Structure 1
Amino acid sequence: MIYIRAGVFAEGRTDDDFLCQLLDRLLDVLAADLFPGNYMVAESEDIDAPRGTSGGRAEKIAAAIHERWEECTLFVIHADGAGDPAEVRRRQVDPGIVAARELRKDRKIAAAACIPVREIEAWMLADREVFRALGVADAQLPRDPERELDPKLTLRRLLAEARLRIPPENLYHFFGGRVRLEALGVLPAFCAFRDELTLALRDLAASP
């Protein structure tokens, strides 16, 4: 039996809210294909470095993984791409995963990078059905959310135009639980994340 519980190291609380909900569904779909009848997906958890951890983001990623090693079986490291996902990965994500593996040389760490082109909010703009579920039937969503220069601003504008009484920051959990995976499947950054997560699950299954 493959036990799957993702620890999510994200840039902020709203990113955590969205990604943890999205991951629970995505992991179930991927695991059903990889390990039919032989897996269990537990609720994803946001993780962070213990208070007082010194160093930069790499050290904080490593400390967060080390801290939650007994609870989580794979780790997702999120960073907004800011228009250059490859560079962000090189500077912010990969060094943290390498540092974590240095701390846990006795075990293989299953990890995946989640790096949208600019911001995670672009993924929230991919599915008109979520807006309809909020009562916004005619939301003018961008044709290519990942080309939006400021997806967070676009999202806030659309929600403000709908005159919803719920603050935007309280809706990330809602979007993460409802945005359709097939709608996200047209976004290259999401596809890259999905493929890397698949490899991480294979690593997890291969671990002793």
Structure 2
Amino acid sequence: MTETKIPKATAKRLPIYYRYLNILRDADKTRVSSTELSEAVKVDSATIRRDFSYFGALGKRGYGYDVDSLLKFFKKILNQDKLTNAALIGVGNLGNALLNFNFHQNSNVRISAAFDVRDDLANTVKSGVPIYPMDELRQQLNDQQIKIVILTVPAEVAQDATDEAIAGGVRGILNFTPIRVSVPTNVRVQNVDLTNELQTLIYFLDHYNEEA
């Protein structure tokens, strides 16, 4: 089967669709229309139909979409039947919160290793995840074949941690630090800037009213 190349915006919406379809299945819903999906996930129905059209005929006019069929399709597309191990770099306040969040229950991702510079954390286990000293980062990533890391270290050491992770074979980085780390072209970075998101929200509240 030829791989389907889709826009990045569409790719970002696929997990949202998949999550809501799971909710529908748990509620014994057998089919759903694009209008119903639109109201639930807050994406307009035309966009949903266009997103789905990249993968061929997923629904039927006048019937909508079969929930089980869509779930099976998106499960395959999103590799939800394959467990992906990730590593957490930085076990501070945010890192602790991420360790306590049950990724595996909500997705196909599991934090299987964590790293920190603090001596009192190294060689301990938190929330079922072993914590290693930072000087073992490259070796452990290689040995455990971990290709994705979550970066929650202080900004001043973010690039150094990134360089070590890449040397350990990492291909994807979820970056919670406020700086934009430099990576080779074969490594993908997803930046999650909580401060920026909050400031954007405040701006919209201050400058856009319901009539705009």
Structure 2-normalised TM-score?
A: 0.31
Larger radius of gyration: 2
More helix by share: 1
Q: Which has the higher contact order (CA 8 A, sep 6+)?
A: 1
Structure 1-normalised TM-score?
A: 0.32
More strand by share: 2
